[in-house]
Chains A and B, each alone.
Chain A
Amino acid sequence: MERRVYMDHAATTYTKKEVLEEMLPFFTEKYGNPSSVHSFGREARKAVDLARERTAKAFNASTDEIYFTGGGSEADNWAIKGIALANRQRGNHIITTSIEHHAVLHTCQYLEKMGFEVTYLPVDQYGLVDPEDVKRAITDRTILISVMFANNEIGTIQPVKEIGRIAREHGIYFHTDAVQAVGHLPIDVKDMNIDLLSLSAHKFYGPKGVGALYIKKGVKIHPFMHGGAQERNRRAGTENLPGIVGLGKAIELAHENLEESSRKLTAMRDRLISGIMERIDSVRLNGHPVKRLPGNVNLSFEYIEGESLLLSLDMKGIAASSGSACTSGSLDPSHVLLAIGLPHEIAHGSLRLTLGDDNTDEDVDYVLEVLPEIVQRLRNMSPLFAQDKGEKHYV
Protein backbone atom coordinates (compact mmCIF):
# COMPACT_ATOMS: atom_id res chain seq x y z
CA MET A 1 0.00 0.00 0.00
CA GLU A 2 1.42 3.35 -0.97
CA ARG A 3 1.50 6.30 1.38
CA ARG A 4 -1.86 7.77 2.40
CA VAL A 5 -2.05 11.34 3.65
CA TYR A 6 -5.28 12.85 4.91
CA MET A 7 -5.37 16.62 4.55
CA ASP A 8 -9.11 17.21 4.57
CA HIS A 9 -9.70 17.79 8.28
CA ALA A 10 -12.06 20.69 7.62
CA ALA A 11 -14.38 18.17 5.95
CA THR A 12 -14.20 15.81 8.88
CA THR A 13 -11.73 14.36 11.37
CA TYR A 14 -11.17 10.85 12.66
CA THR A 15 -12.56 10.10 16.11
CA LYS A 16 -9.75 10.05 18.65
CA LYS A 17 -9.15 6.81 20.51
CA GLU A 18 -9.78 8.34 23.94
CA VAL A 19 -13.07 9.71 22.62
CA LEU A 20 -14.22 6.41 21.15
CA GLU A 21 -13.27 4.54 24.32
CA GLU A 22 -15.39 6.82 26.40
CA MET A 23 -18.33 6.42 23.98
CA LEU A 24 -18.34 2.64 23.67
CA PRO A 25 -19.92 1.62 27.02
CA PHE A 26 -22.90 3.83 26.17
CA PHE A 27 -23.87 1.52 23.31
CA THR A 28 -23.83 -1.76 25.14
CA GLU A 29 -23.81 -1.35 28.94
CA LYS A 30 -24.86 2.16 29.91
CA TYR A 31 -27.58 2.38 27.31
CA GLY A 32 -30.32 3.87 29.46
CA ASN A 33 -32.58 6.69 28.32
CA PRO A 34 -31.49 9.85 30.14
CA SER A 35 -35.18 10.67 30.76
CA SER A 36 -35.83 7.42 32.67
CA VAL A 37 -35.96 7.53 36.46
CA HIS A 38 -34.27 4.17 37.10
CA SER A 39 -30.56 3.59 37.64
CA PHE A 40 -29.94 3.00 33.92
CA GLY A 41 -31.52 6.33 33.14
CA ARG A 42 -29.68 8.14 35.93
CA GLU A 43 -26.36 6.77 34.69
CA ALA A 44 -27.10 8.09 31.21
CA ARG A 45 -28.29 11.44 32.56
CA LYS A 46 -25.05 11.83 34.50
CA ALA A 47 -23.07 11.26 31.30
CA VAL A 48 -25.07 13.89 29.41
CA ASP A 49 -24.59 16.34 32.28
CA LEU A 50 -20.83 15.77 32.24
CA ALA A 51 -20.70 16.34 28.48
CA ARG A 52 -22.66 19.56 28.94
CA GLU A 53 -20.23 20.77 31.61
CA ARG A 54 -17.25 20.02 29.42
CA THR A 55 -18.84 21.81 26.48
CA ALA A 56 -19.81 24.88 28.51
CA LYS A 57 -16.31 25.10 29.97
CA ALA A 58 -14.68 25.09 26.54
CA PHE A 59 -15.96 28.59 25.71
CA ASN A 60 -16.95 30.07 29.08
CA ALA A 61 -20.69 29.36 28.95
CA SER A 62 -22.96 27.98 31.67
CA THR A 63 -24.19 24.40 31.50
CA ASP A 64 -27.80 25.51 31.10
CA GLU A 65 -26.83 27.40 27.95
CA ILE A 66 -25.71 24.29 26.02
CA TYR A 67 -28.23 22.40 23.84
CA PHE A 68 -27.14 19.26 22.03
CA THR A 69 -28.22 18.87 18.41
CA GLY A 70 -27.78 16.48 15.52
CA GLY A 71 -24.81 18.46 14.19
CA GLY A 72 -23.64 21.87 13.02
CA SER A 73 -26.23 22.33 10.27
CA GLU A 74 -29.06 21.71 12.72
CA ALA A 75 -27.55 24.19 15.16
CA ASP A 76 -27.34 26.84 12.40
CA ASN A 77 -30.88 26.16 11.22
CA TRP A 78 -32.21 26.32 14.76
CA ALA A 79 -30.38 29.52 15.68
CA ILE A 80 -31.55 31.43 12.61
CA LYS A 81 -35.10 30.13 12.18
CA GLY A 82 -35.67 30.03 15.94
CA ILE A 83 -34.65 33.67 16.41
CA ALA A 84 -36.50 34.81 13.30
CA LEU A 85 -39.78 33.20 14.33
CA ALA A 86 -39.59 34.23 17.99
CA ASN A 87 -38.77 37.85 17.27
CA ARG A 88 -40.91 38.53 14.24
CA GLN A 89 -42.94 41.24 15.95
CA ARG A 90 -39.72 43.17 16.64
CA GLY A 91 -38.52 43.03 13.07
CA ASN A 92 -37.86 40.96 9.98
CA HIS A 93 -34.30 41.88 9.06
CA ILE A 94 -31.26 39.60 9.32
CA ILE A 95 -27.65 40.50 8.60
CA THR A 96 -25.21 37.83 7.50
CA THR A 97 -22.28 37.53 5.09
CA SER A 98 -21.76 36.27 1.57
CA ILE A 99 -19.20 33.65 2.68
CA GLU A 100 -21.26 31.71 5.23
CA HIS A 101 -21.64 27.96 5.08
CA HIS A 102 -24.69 26.81 3.12
CA ALA A 103 -26.34 25.78 6.40
CA VAL A 104 -26.60 29.52 7.12
CA LEU A 105 -27.01 30.85 3.57
CA HIS A 106 -29.75 28.45 2.52
CA THR A 107 -31.58 28.96 5.81
CA CYS A 108 -31.52 32.72 5.22
CA GLN A 109 -32.72 32.25 1.64
CA TYR A 110 -35.58 30.13 2.94
CA LEU A 111 -36.53 32.88 5.40
CA GLU A 112 -36.48 35.42 2.57
CA LYS A 113 -39.22 33.36 0.91
CA MET A 114 -41.12 33.56 4.19
CA GLY A 115 -41.05 37.37 4.15
CA PHE A 116 -37.82 38.13 5.98
CA GLU A 117 -35.24 40.50 4.60
CA VAL A 118 -31.60 39.48 4.58
CA THR A 119 -28.48 41.57 4.00
CA TYR A 120 -25.50 39.54 2.75
CA LEU A 121 -22.41 41.57 3.61
CA PRO A 122 -19.44 41.54 1.24
CA VAL A 123 -15.93 40.63 2.37
CA ASP A 124 -12.54 42.03 1.41
CA GLN A 125 -9.85 40.24 -0.63
CA TYR A 126 -8.86 38.20 2.44
CA GLY A 127 -12.41 37.19 3.25
CA LEU A 128 -12.74 39.60 6.19
CA VAL A 129 -16.01 41.24 7.12
CA ASP A 130 -15.71 44.93 7.96
CA PRO A 131 -17.46 45.61 11.30
CA GLU A 132 -18.32 49.07 9.96
CA ASP A 133 -20.35 47.35 7.22
CA VAL A 134 -22.23 45.45 9.91
CA LYS A 135 -22.99 48.73 11.70
CA ARG A 136 -24.17 50.40 8.50
CA ALA A 137 -26.47 47.50 7.61
CA ILE A 138 -28.39 47.70 10.91
CA THR A 139 -31.93 49.05 10.71
CA ASP A 140 -34.63 49.37 13.35
CA ARG A 141 -36.03 46.09 11.98
CA THR A 142 -32.82 44.08 12.47
CA ILE A 143 -33.26 41.14 14.83
CA LEU A 144 -30.22 38.98 14.14
CA ILE A 145 -26.61 39.24 13.00
CA SER A 146 -25.04 35.95 11.96
CA VAL A 147 -21.33 35.95 11.09
CA MET A 148 -19.19 32.83 11.03
CA PHE A 149 -16.24 32.59 13.41
CA ALA A 150 -13.85 31.19 10.82
CA ASN A 151 -14.43 30.27 7.21
CA ASN A 152 -14.48 26.61 6.24
CA GLU A 153 -12.88 27.08 2.83
CA ILE A 154 -10.25 29.79 3.18
CA GLY A 155 -9.85 29.71 6.97
CA THR A 156 -10.24 33.47 7.53
CA ILE A 157 -10.99 34.35 11.17
CA GLN A 158 -13.56 37.11 11.51
CA PRO A 159 -13.45 40.04 13.95
CA VAL A 160 -16.09 38.32 16.06
CA LYS A 161 -15.53 40.34 19.22
CA GLU A 162 -16.01 43.65 17.43
CA ILE A 163 -19.14 42.43 15.68
CA GLY A 164 -20.43 41.09 19.00
CA ARG A 165 -19.91 44.49 20.59
CA ILE A 166 -21.82 46.22 17.80
CA ALA A 167 -24.68 43.74 18.11
CA ARG A 168 -24.82 44.26 21.88
CA GLU A 169 -24.81 48.06 21.54
CA HIS A 170 -27.81 47.85 19.24
CA GLY A 171 -29.65 45.21 21.24
CA ILE A 172 -29.53 42.72 18.34
CA TYR A 173 -28.90 39.01 18.78
CA PHE A 174 -25.53 37.78 17.53
CA HIS A 175 -25.09 34.23 16.23
CA THR A 176 -21.79 32.78 15.10
CA ASP A 177 -21.32 29.56 13.14
CA ALA A 178 -18.20 28.35 14.97
CA VAL A 179 -18.16 24.88 13.45
CA GLN A 180 -14.61 25.34 12.12
CA ALA A 181 -13.40 27.25 15.16
CA VAL A 182 -14.46 25.27 18.22
CA GLY A 183 -11.61 23.06 19.34
CA HIS A 184 -9.14 25.04 17.24
CA LEU A 185 -9.33 28.64 18.45
CA PRO A 186 -9.85 30.18 21.90
CA ILE A 187 -13.46 31.31 22.29
CA ASP A 188 -15.12 33.17 25.16
CA VAL A 189 -18.79 33.80 24.56
CA LYS A 190 -19.03 36.36 27.36
CA ASP A 191 -16.00 38.38 26.36
CA MET A 192 -17.03 38.21 22.69
CA ASN A 193 -20.69 39.06 23.31
CA ILE A 194 -21.93 35.97 21.51
CA ASP A 195 -25.61 35.12 22.02
CA LEU A 196 -25.74 31.94 19.95
CA LEU A 197 -22.94 29.66 18.76
CA SER A 198 -23.06 26.53 16.59
CA LEU A 199 -20.57 23.68 16.84
CA SER A 200 -20.11 20.19 15.45
CA ALA A 201 -18.21 17.32 17.12
CA HIS A 202 -16.69 15.71 14.04
CA LYS A 203 -14.63 18.81 13.28
CA PHE A 204 -12.60 18.33 16.46
CA TYR A 205 -12.04 14.56 16.59
CA GLY A 206 -15.46 13.67 17.93
CA PRO A 207 -18.13 11.55 16.24
CA LYS A 208 -20.34 12.63 13.32
CA GLY A 209 -24.03 13.43 13.71
CA VAL A 210 -23.79 15.38 16.94
CA GLY A 211 -23.31 19.06 17.67
CA ALA A 212 -24.56 21.77 19.94
CA LEU A 213 -26.07 25.20 20.00
CA TYR A 214 -25.07 27.60 22.75
CA ILE A 215 -28.01 29.86 23.60
CA LYS A 216 -27.27 32.63 26.06
CA LYS A 217 -29.66 32.82 28.99
CA GLY A 218 -32.61 35.09 28.27
CA VAL A 219 -32.40 34.84 24.46
CA LYS A 220 -35.87 34.62 22.94
CA ILE A 221 -35.88 31.64 20.58
CA HIS A 222 -38.38 29.06 19.39
CA PRO A 223 -37.67 25.36 19.76
CA PHE A 224 -36.57 23.64 16.56
CA MET A 225 -37.70 20.13 17.24
CA HIS A 226 -41.05 19.68 18.96
CA GLY A 227 -41.88 16.66 21.09
CA GLY A 228 -40.57 15.49 24.43
CA ALA A 229 -39.04 17.57 27.19
CA GLN A 230 -35.41 16.86 26.34
CA GLU A 231 -32.87 19.70 26.37
CA ARG A 232 -35.02 21.87 28.64
CA ASN A 233 -38.03 21.58 26.36
CA ARG A 234 -36.12 23.12 23.49
CA ARG A 235 -34.88 20.18 21.43
CA ALA A 236 -37.09 17.12 21.54
CA GLY A 237 -35.90 13.60 20.82
CA THR A 238 -34.09 10.98 22.87
CA GLU A 239 -30.51 12.11 23.30
CA ASN A 240 -27.79 10.65 21.08
CA LEU A 241 -26.09 9.41 24.21
CA PRO A 242 -22.84 7.94 22.82
CA GLY A 243 -22.53 10.92 20.46
CA ILE A 244 -23.01 13.46 23.23
CA VAL A 245 -20.51 11.63 25.43
CA GLY A 246 -18.05 11.68 22.52
CA LEU A 247 -18.63 15.38 21.89
CA GLY A 248 -17.94 16.14 25.55
CA LYS A 249 -14.72 14.17 25.63
CA ALA A 250 -13.55 15.54 22.28
CA ILE A 251 -14.14 19.17 23.20
CA GLU A 252 -12.35 18.72 26.52
CA LEU A 253 -9.35 17.14 24.81
CA ALA A 254 -9.29 19.74 22.06
CA HIS A 255 -9.26 22.63 24.50
CA GLU A 256 -6.64 21.00 26.73
CA ASN A 257 -4.36 20.62 23.70
CA LEU A 258 -5.42 23.81 21.95
CA GLU A 259 -2.22 25.83 22.28
CA GLU A 260 0.11 22.97 21.47
CA SER A 261 -1.95 21.71 18.56
CA SER A 262 -2.38 25.21 17.20
CA ARG A 263 1.35 25.88 17.36
CA LYS A 264 2.16 22.62 15.60
CA LEU A 265 -0.48 23.04 12.89
CA THR A 266 0.40 26.67 12.24
CA ALA A 267 4.05 25.74 11.70
CA MET A 268 3.12 22.92 9.31
CA ARG A 269 0.60 25.15 7.53
CA ASP A 270 3.11 27.92 6.94
CA ARG A 271 5.77 25.47 5.77
CA LEU A 272 3.29 23.93 3.35
CA ILE A 273 2.24 27.34 1.99
CA SER A 274 5.77 28.70 1.57
CA GLY A 275 7.05 25.37 0.24
CA ILE A 276 4.38 25.26 -2.46
CA MET A 277 4.87 28.91 -3.41
CA GLU A 278 8.65 28.35 -3.71
CA ARG A 279 8.26 25.28 -5.90
CA ILE A 280 5.38 26.31 -8.15
CA ASP A 281 4.80 29.51 -10.16
CA SER A 282 1.53 31.35 -10.61
CA VAL A 283 0.02 30.30 -7.29
CA ARG A 284 -2.15 32.50 -5.12
CA LEU A 285 -2.88 32.09 -1.41
CA ASN A 286 -6.58 32.48 -0.70
CA GLY A 287 -7.61 33.89 2.68
CA HIS A 288 -5.65 35.94 5.18
CA PRO A 289 -1.94 35.18 5.73
CA VAL A 290 -2.21 35.44 9.53
CA LYS A 291 -5.87 35.69 10.57
CA ARG A 292 -6.42 32.13 9.47
CA LEU A 293 -7.28 28.76 11.01
CA PRO A 294 -4.13 26.93 12.14
CA GLY A 295 -4.63 23.98 9.77
CA ASN A 296 -6.01 25.73 6.68
CA VAL A 297 -4.19 26.03 3.35
CA ASN A 298 -6.14 27.26 0.32
CA LEU A 299 -4.35 27.98 -2.93
CA SER A 300 -5.30 28.71 -6.52
CA PHE A 301 -3.14 27.31 -9.28
CA GLU A 302 -3.43 29.18 -12.54
CA TYR A 303 -4.12 27.33 -15.80
CA ILE A 304 -5.49 24.17 -14.22
CA GLU A 305 -8.78 22.94 -12.84
CA GLY A 306 -9.33 21.83 -9.25
CA GLU A 307 -10.97 18.47 -9.76
CA SER A 308 -8.17 17.15 -11.95
CA LEU A 309 -5.78 18.31 -9.23
CA LEU A 310 -7.79 16.43 -6.58
CA LEU A 311 -7.94 13.25 -8.65
CA SER A 312 -4.22 13.36 -9.29
CA LEU A 313 -3.48 13.88 -5.60
CA ASP A 314 -5.85 11.05 -4.73
CA MET A 315 -3.92 8.73 -7.06
CA LYS A 316 -0.87 9.56 -4.92
CA GLY A 317 -2.80 8.82 -1.73
CA ILE A 318 -3.35 12.46 -0.75
CA ALA A 319 -6.90 13.45 0.31
CA ALA A 320 -7.70 17.12 -0.23
CA SER A 321 -10.63 19.21 -1.39
CA SER A 322 -11.37 22.01 -3.82
CA GLY A 323 -13.62 24.97 -4.45
CA SER A 324 -13.96 23.83 -8.02
CA ALA A 325 -17.40 23.69 -9.58
CA CYS A 326 -16.67 20.22 -10.86
CA THR A 327 -16.49 18.74 -7.38
CA SER A 328 -19.72 20.29 -6.19
CA GLY A 329 -21.97 19.43 -9.11
CA SER A 330 -22.84 23.06 -9.84
CA LEU A 331 -21.48 25.17 -12.66
CA ASP A 332 -20.14 27.97 -10.50
CA PRO A 333 -17.03 27.63 -8.42
CA SER A 334 -17.15 28.25 -4.68
CA HIS A 335 -19.20 31.27 -3.54
CA VAL A 336 -16.44 32.06 -1.06
CA LEU A 337 -13.72 32.30 -3.69
CA LEU A 338 -15.94 34.45 -5.88
CA ALA A 339 -16.77 36.68 -2.87
CA ILE A 340 -13.07 37.42 -2.26
CA GLY A 341 -12.90 38.59 -5.86
CA LEU A 342 -11.28 35.68 -7.68
CA PRO A 343 -12.13 35.50 -11.38
CA HIS A 344 -14.01 32.30 -12.27
CA GLU A 345 -11.08 30.73 -14.10
CA ILE A 346 -8.77 31.18 -11.09
CA ALA A 347 -11.40 30.00 -8.61
CA HIS A 348 -11.77 26.80 -10.66
CA GLY A 349 -8.14 25.95 -9.96
CA SER A 350 -8.32 26.01 -6.19
CA LEU A 351 -7.09 23.44 -3.71
CA ARG A 352 -7.82 23.20 0.01
CA LEU A 353 -5.46 21.22 2.24
CA THR A 354 -6.55 21.14 5.89
CA LEU A 355 -4.10 19.76 8.41
CA GLY A 356 -4.91 17.90 11.60
CA ASP A 357 -3.37 16.27 14.63
CA ASP A 358 -2.46 13.09 12.73
CA ASN A 359 -0.37 14.94 10.12
CA THR A 360 3.40 14.89 10.38
CA ASP A 361 6.29 16.85 8.91
CA GLU A 362 6.82 13.87 6.60
CA ASP A 363 3.28 14.34 5.26
CA VAL A 364 4.11 17.96 4.44
CA ASP A 365 7.33 16.83 2.73
CA TYR A 366 5.41 14.26 0.72
CA VAL A 367 2.89 16.83 -0.55
CA LEU A 368 5.72 19.21 -1.40
CA GLU A 369 7.41 16.42 -3.34
CA VAL A 370 4.34 15.24 -5.25
CA LEU A 371 2.39 18.43 -5.93
CA PRO A 372 4.81 20.25 -8.27
CA GLU A 373 4.90 17.26 -10.69
CA ILE A 374 1.12 17.03 -10.69
CA VAL A 375 0.66 20.73 -11.36
CA GLN A 376 3.26 20.63 -14.11
CA ARG A 377 1.64 17.61 -15.77
CA LEU A 378 -1.77 19.30 -15.80
CA ARG A 379 -0.35 22.60 -16.98
CA ASN A 380 1.42 20.85 -19.84
CA MET A 381 -1.98 19.58 -20.91
CA SER A 382 -3.66 22.97 -20.56
CA PRO A 383 -4.25 25.20 -23.58
CA LEU A 384 -4.29 28.22 -21.22
CA PHE A 385 -0.74 27.53 -20.07
CA ALA A 386 0.57 27.29 -23.62
CA GLN A 387 -1.03 30.59 -24.55
CA ASP A 388 0.50 32.55 -21.74
CA LYS A 389 3.78 30.78 -21.17
CA GLY A 390 6.28 33.16 -19.70
CA GLU A 391 3.96 36.00 -18.88
CA LYS A 392 2.20 36.30 -15.56
CA HIS A 393 -0.92 38.33 -15.70
CA TYR A 394 -2.33 37.44 -12.36
CA VAL A 395 -0.96 38.22 -8.92
Chain B
Amino acid sequence: MYSEKVMDHFMNPRNVGEIENPDGVGQVGNAKCGDIMKIYLKIKDNVIVDIKFKTFGCGAAIATSSMATELVKGKTIDEALALTNKAVADALDGLPPIKMHCSVLAEEAIKAAIEDYKSKQLASSK
Protein backbone atom coordinates (compact mmCIF):
# COMPACT_ATOMS: atom_id res chain seq x y z
CA MET B 1 0.00 0.00 0.00
CA TYR B 2 2.97 2.33 0.53
CA SER B 3 5.44 3.37 -2.17
CA GLU B 4 9.08 2.30 -1.89
CA LYS B 5 10.01 5.87 -1.05
CA VAL B 6 7.56 5.97 1.86
CA MET B 7 8.98 2.70 3.16
CA ASP B 8 12.53 4.01 2.75
CA HIS B 9 11.76 7.17 4.71
CA PHE B 10 9.91 5.09 7.32
CA MET B 11 12.72 2.59 7.81
CA ASN B 12 15.57 5.11 7.41
CA PRO B 13 14.10 8.44 8.43
CA ARG B 14 16.27 11.50 7.84
CA ASN B 15 16.81 14.17 10.49
CA VAL B 16 15.34 12.30 13.45
CA GLY B 17 16.10 13.74 16.84
CA GLU B 18 16.12 16.97 18.79
CA ILE B 19 18.15 20.19 18.59
CA GLU B 20 19.49 21.69 21.79
CA ASN B 21 18.60 25.36 22.14
CA PRO B 22 16.54 25.42 18.96
CA ASP B 23 15.57 28.69 17.33
CA GLY B 24 12.05 27.40 16.71
CA VAL B 25 9.91 24.44 17.79
CA GLY B 26 6.55 23.40 16.39
CA GLN B 27 4.27 20.60 17.53
CA VAL B 28 1.03 19.56 15.84
CA GLY B 29 -1.49 16.72 16.16
CA ASN B 30 -2.49 14.91 19.32
CA ALA B 31 -2.04 11.47 20.81
CA LYS B 32 -5.76 10.82 20.83
CA CYS B 33 -5.82 10.84 17.04
CA GLY B 34 -2.64 8.80 16.88
CA ASP B 35 -0.33 11.42 15.29
CA ILE B 36 2.03 13.94 16.86
CA MET B 37 4.83 15.69 15.00
CA LYS B 38 7.43 17.88 16.64
CA ILE B 39 9.93 19.89 14.58
CA TYR B 40 13.08 21.65 15.83
CA LEU B 41 14.79 24.38 13.78
CA LYS B 42 18.20 26.03 13.77
CA ILE B 43 18.10 29.19 11.69
CA LYS B 44 20.95 31.44 10.54
CA ASP B 45 20.47 34.50 8.29
CA ASN B 46 16.91 33.42 7.49
CA VAL B 47 18.13 30.01 6.31
CA ILE B 48 17.21 26.69 7.93
CA VAL B 49 20.66 25.36 8.68
CA ASP B 50 19.50 22.40 10.73
CA ILE B 51 16.19 20.65 11.29
CA LYS B 52 15.18 17.63 13.38
CA PHE B 53 11.91 15.89 14.06
CA LYS B 54 10.24 13.48 16.43
CA THR B 55 7.00 11.79 15.45
CA PHE B 56 4.47 9.50 17.11
CA GLY B 57 2.33 7.98 14.41
CA CYS B 58 1.89 5.54 11.58
CA GLY B 59 4.34 4.76 8.80
CA ALA B 60 3.10 7.65 6.67
CA ALA B 61 3.39 10.09 9.57
CA ILE B 62 7.03 9.18 10.07
CA ALA B 63 7.83 9.19 6.33
CA THR B 64 6.16 12.58 5.70
CA SER B 65 8.01 14.10 8.67
CA SER B 66 11.28 12.82 7.26
CA MET B 67 10.55 14.02 3.73
CA ALA B 68 9.31 17.44 4.86
CA THR B 69 12.51 18.05 6.83
CA GLU B 70 14.57 17.03 3.79
CA LEU B 71 12.63 19.41 1.55
CA VAL B 72 13.16 22.49 3.71
CA LYS B 73 16.68 21.89 5.00
CA GLY B 74 19.02 24.56 3.62
CA LYS B 75 16.06 26.63 2.37
CA THR B 76 15.13 30.15 3.41
CA ILE B 77 12.21 30.67 5.75
CA ASP B 78 10.07 32.01 2.93
CA GLU B 79 10.85 29.00 0.75
CA ALA B 80 10.00 26.69 3.65
CA LEU B 81 6.71 28.49 4.28
CA ALA B 82 5.76 27.81 0.66
CA LEU B 83 5.98 24.03 1.25
CA THR B 84 2.66 22.32 0.56
CA ASN B 85 1.40 18.96 1.75
CA LYS B 86 1.05 17.93 -1.87
CA ALA B 87 4.73 18.58 -2.48
CA VAL B 88 5.58 16.33 0.46
CA ALA B 89 3.26 13.58 -0.79
CA ASP B 90 4.55 13.89 -4.36
CA ALA B 91 8.15 13.68 -3.21
CA LEU B 92 7.24 10.36 -1.60
CA ASP B 93 5.71 9.10 -4.88
CA GLY B 94 2.25 9.57 -3.41
CA LEU B 95 0.34 8.45 -0.33
CA PRO B 96 -2.80 6.33 0.04
CA PRO B 97 -5.83 8.69 0.21
CA ILE B 98 -6.54 7.95 3.89
CA LYS B 99 -2.96 8.94 4.70
CA MET B 100 -2.99 12.35 3.02
CA HIS B 101 -3.71 13.96 6.41
CA CYS B 102 -0.18 12.93 7.45
CA SER B 103 1.28 15.19 4.75
CA VAL B 104 -0.96 18.01 5.96
CA LEU B 105 0.37 17.49 9.45
CA ALA B 106 3.96 17.64 8.16
CA GLU B 107 3.29 20.93 6.38
CA GLU B 108 1.65 22.33 9.51
CA ALA B 109 4.50 21.19 11.75
CA ILE B 110 7.10 23.02 9.64
CA LYS B 111 4.94 26.14 9.61
CA ALA B 112 4.35 25.97 13.36
CA ALA B 113 8.11 25.76 13.99
CA ILE B 114 8.75 28.77 11.74
CA GLU B 115 5.98 30.74 13.44
CA ASP B 116 7.58 29.93 16.78
CA TYR B 117 10.92 31.22 15.47
CA LYS B 118 9.31 34.41 14.15
CA SER B 119 7.50 35.15 17.38
CA LYS B 120 10.73 34.64 19.33
CA GLN B 121 12.53 37.04 16.96
CA LEU B 122 9.80 39.58 17.46
CA ALA B 123 9.97 39.23 21.24
CA SER B 124 13.76 39.66 21.32
CA SER B 125 13.75 42.67 18.98
CA LYS B 126 11.35 44.56 21.26
Contacts and interface: CB of A to CB of B under 8 A. Distances in A.
Interface of A: 303-308, 311-312, 315, 324-326, 329, 331, 333, 343-345, 348, 380-386
Interface core residue of B10, B35, B56 (most chain A CB under 10 Å): B56
B54 A308 contact: no
Nearest to A386: B54
Nearest to B97: A329
Given A303-B56, A305-B57, A311 B10 contact: yes
Contact of B56 (A305, A311, A315): A305
B113 interface: no
Chain B interface residue bracket vs A: 20 to 34
B38 interface: yes
Nearest to B37: A383
B123 interface: no
Contacts of A380: 16
Interface stretch (B43-51, B58-66, B80-88): B58-66
Contacts of A315: 7, 11
A304 B98 contact: no
B33 interface: yes
A304 B58 contact: no
Contact of B31 (A308, A312, A344, A386): A344
B36 A383 contact: yes
B36 A384 contact: yes
Contacts of A386: 18, 54
Contact of A308 (B16, B32, B62, B98): B62
A155 B36 CA distance: 30
Contacts of B54: 381-383, 386
The 6 closest A-B pairs by CB, nearest first: A345-B31, A326-B58, A307-B58, A383-B54, A348-B34, A383-B38
A384 B59 contact: no
Contacts, number: 72
B58 A381 contact: no
Contacts of A311: 2, 7, 10, 59
Provide the main secondary structure of the chain B interface.
mixed
Interface in B88-124: 98-99
A308 B57 CA distance: 7
A324 B58 contact: yes
Interface core residue of A304, A325, A343 (most chain B CB under 10 Å): A325
Given A345-B34, A386-B54, A307 B16 contact: no
Contacts of B33: 325, 331, 344
Contacts of B62: 308, 381
Given A329-B98, A348-B34, A383 B55 contact: yes
A329 B62 CA distance: 17
Given A308-B10, A311-B10, A315-B11, A382 B56 contact: yes
Interface in B2-40: 2, 7, 10-11, 13, 16, 18, 27, 31-38
Given A345-B32, A383-B55, 17 more contacts: A304-B56, A307-B58, A308-B57, A308-B61, A311-B2, A311-B7, A326-B58, A331-B34, A343-B32, A344-B32, A348-B34, A381-B16, A381-B54, A383-B36, A383-B37, A385-B56, A386-B18
A304 B32 CA distance: 12
Given A311-B10, A329-B98, A382 B34 contact: no
A345 B54 CA distance: 16
A36 B18 CA distance: 74
A384 B10 contact: no
Nearest to B16: A381
A220 B67 CA distance: 60
A101 B100 CA distance: 28
B34 A333 contact: yes
A381 B59 contact: no
B58 to A, nearest CB: 4
B34 A324 contact: yes
A344 B10 CA distance: 23
Nearest to A329: B98
A80 to B, nearest CB: 29
Nearest to B39: A383
A382 B36 CA distance: 8
30 contacts: A305-B56, A305-B57, A305-B61, A306-B58, A307-B58, A308-B61, A311-B2, A311-B7, A311-B10, A312-B11, A324-B34, A324-B58, A325-B33, A326-B57, A326-B59, A331-B34, A343-B32, A345-B34, A380-B16, A381-B54, A381-B62, A382-B36, A382-B54, A383-B27, A383-B37, A383-B54, A384-B31, A384-B56, A385-B56, A386-B54
